[in-house]
Structure 1
């Protein structure tokens, strides 16, 4: 986005420049009181610095291109060139301000801005020295000075970029944590409510027929198992990141796994198109976890019907989970499988990231395919079960 504000946006850059030029103007005014000062030239320098300060403060930079504040740096170079010329080619007084100006460039602009300003800086530094007939060794100091101030800006820009990336990562982690907590509360509350209802019925009615009592007990146990799977899934996040995930590989009937995943997903209106007898060597709990997550995403973000299909090509099994909703916006596709790509709202679940990591732990992968209409996510697994080493 162009029009950012704050410390790392165009408004922040302009405010920092205003402070820098205000300091330069005040120092120029104070210099008038010095013996043998060139009051007229110092007043011109101070006036120019104060004009740049006013422009930096009052221009609505947020409405302009984010790099428009570079114009303030160009104006500053012009003032420095005049100052060097006016004081007989003495660069010692303006040198620190060249450094400060490039420090400002590094704080608020990318490195290429510093490189782009280097030729103009060399001109602003050398031309006054040449015009005032300074010795060759003084003019030649530009060979060292200009690369040094450019390097200052580039080094600062690199550190600022690292700081911004770290800040963005922390913010993303915080958003993901908050979303995960909301979803965890939601996902745990539903099965707990079912367990509570079953226990209350069993407690209130001691004369329930054995068959009904067995159904209630079985329903409560299924919900308890659902909570246990959720807890296991949360632990898997850490195991995947640490490379400590272990798989219990065995032949798994794919159709039965899809049916179980649908039964564990509230409000799932799903059509299962999986050939009976089709099996894959996988960890049954992890396969169920992957399918529950994908079907749950389809319920939350898509529209019925949700189709679960499977096919085998050579030694690879593909399981497709498709909905008939609006699909994934093109701008969001690139972040689908990132660590925090599912952040936002109240339905992050364990996210597509953990599904893909579980698929890769099996030696497979998770991919996205646009459907018309809807979205389709495809789990590919080796039929023989070849976990990642």
Structure 2
């Protein structure tokens, strides 16, 4: 099962661009209607402009831009310049009424397109703006403002474009670094785990050594799990995550968690017959992340419970601590956001839980209980019959 998180990155980018453009055009149409009472020209002109805005806005939402790629949405700027030019003319050359929209459209281009696309739109915008002023009989002084407004608007677009490209490069570098570190960590861990297992199989071990070997084995398994989580994050981002779906009981998965953590203050309280259809390794990974988070930031006992709700299974991990501060709750499942507030946290655990739950067609949520915190994973239940 291949998970692409709303398709490829290019498709997702095109979808974001088209939706934002749709909002801009619909907003422009609404403002055209609002401006009808103050328009010096016939009202039918602004009604026509509003209708054109609505049509383009709807097309921005409904056409398959994801299929055509991110650069395809640049075509939406062409009717945008035409509508802005017509609006400028309809207001009798009142340039300050439409000037901000020229800047806004270039800002949108900067958010979603390359520098070449922005520069290619400059003559179209200048023609629409200056041509409308001339057609409306505006003074030469007002027409000359074209050489100020359009370069400023283009500059805004280029500055935004440069910032977006910088952020994208940083994101690619960070993702590559995480993936490389995770991959390089797994190789020596495999060797360490093998050595620990071989030593643990010896019958004449000194007293007290076997528990230490068991603890070391658990910790290497946890590090291996973290490396797998980081690699999964990279696979989700690139649309290459593959889930190995199979049925298993939640009680068995809970015992896996207890074995990995080796904590006596964690209790599994689930119906032994309750089953789930999921990637077992990654499901255990989610529970380990939530349980580790509860042990680190909450207070024992930590209880893993589960219940069915319609066609879903809700698996909860609860601690008995002080709960998550209200100001932190909106950012719980975002990548690297909480690491600034909590220096002892990498800021990836809860985000990885979210992306893995969503990859399974479910989700994760948080609520404050009395006392403590409760994180709940919602996944589709295993089919019956």
Aligned to 2:368: 370
Q: 1:347 aligns with which of 345, 348, 352?
A: 345
Mapped to 1, the partners of 2:280 and 2:148 lie a distance apart of: 61
Give, in angstroms, the shift of residue 367 of structure 1.
Answer: 1.8
Aligned to 2:160: 161
- With normalisation by structure 1, the TM-score equals 0.50
Mapped to 1, the partners of 2:364 and 2:190 lie a distance apart of: 28
Residues 184-215 of structure 1 deviation map (CA, whole Å, 9 limit, x = unaligned) = 99999999999888877888xx7449x99988
Structure 1's unaligned 5+ residue stretches are 1-105, 112-138
176-185 or 143-152: which moved more?
A: 176-185
Larger Rg: 1
Q: Per the alignment, do residues 278 and 142 of structure 1 end up closer, same or farther by CA in structure 2, a change over 3 Å counting?
A: same
Matched, 1:294 2:293: no
Say what the alpha-carbon RMSD is for the aligned residues.
4.7
- The one of the two structures with greater contact order (alpha-carbon pairs below 8 A, sep at least 6) is 2
Q: Per the alignment, do residues 297 and 183 of structure 1 end up closer, same or farther by CA in structure 2, a change over 3 Å counting?
A: farther
How many residue pairs get aligned? The number is 251
Matched, 1:273 2:272: no
Mapped to 1, the partners of 2:338 and 2:176 lie a distance apart of: 11
Ranges of 4+ aligned residues in structure 1 off by more than 4 Å: 165-203, 211-228
Where in structure 2 are the equivalents of 1:12-51 lying within 5 Å?
Answer: none
Q: Per the alignment, do residues 147 and 300 of structure 1 end up closer, same or farther by CA in structure 2, a change over 3 Å counting?
A: farther
Q: Is the 8 A contact 1:304 1:324 kept in 2?
A: yes
Mapped to 1, the partners of 2:264 and 2:167 lie a distance apart of: 35
Give, in angstroms, the shift of residue 369 of structure 1.
Answer: 2.1
Q: Is the 8 A contact 2:335 2:348 kept in 1?
A: no
Where in structure 2 are the equivalents of 1:70-219 lying within 5 Å?
Answer: 140-167=139-166, 207-208=204-205
Q: Is the 8 A contact 2:185 2:227 kept in 1?
A: no
Mapped to 1, the partners of 2:292 and 2:184 lie a distance apart of: 16
Mapped to 1, the partners of 2:187 and 2:368 lie a distance apart of: 31
Residues 13-33 of structure 1 deviation map (CA, whole Å, 9 limit, x = unaligned) = xxxxxxxxxxxxxxxxxxxxx
Q: Is the 8 A contact 2:265 2:302 kept in 1?
A: yes
- With normalisation by structure 2, the TM-score equals 0.51
Aligned to 2:98: none
Mapped to 1, the partners of 2:174 and 2:377 lie a distance apart of: 27
SS at match of 2:254: helix
Aligned to 2:66: none
Aligned to 1:360: 358
Give, in angstroms, the shift of residue 303 of structure 1.
Answer: 2.3
SS at match of 2:375: strand
Aligned to 2:307: 311
Q: Per the alignment, do residues 174 and 331 of structure 1 end up closer, same or farther by CA in structure 2, a change over 3 Å counting?
A: farther
Mapped to 1, the partners of 2:345 and 2:264 lie a distance apart of: 15
Aligned to 2:377: 379
Q: Per the alignment, do residues 153 and 326 of structure 1 end up closer, same or farther by CA in structure 2, a change over 3 Å counting?
A: farther
Aligned to 1:246: 242
Residues 104-149 of structure 1 deviation map (CA, whole Å, 9 limit, x = unaligned) = xx9xxx99xxxxxxxxxxxxxxxxxxxxxxxxxxx92232233442
Structure 2's unaligned 5+ residue stretches are 1-102, 109-137
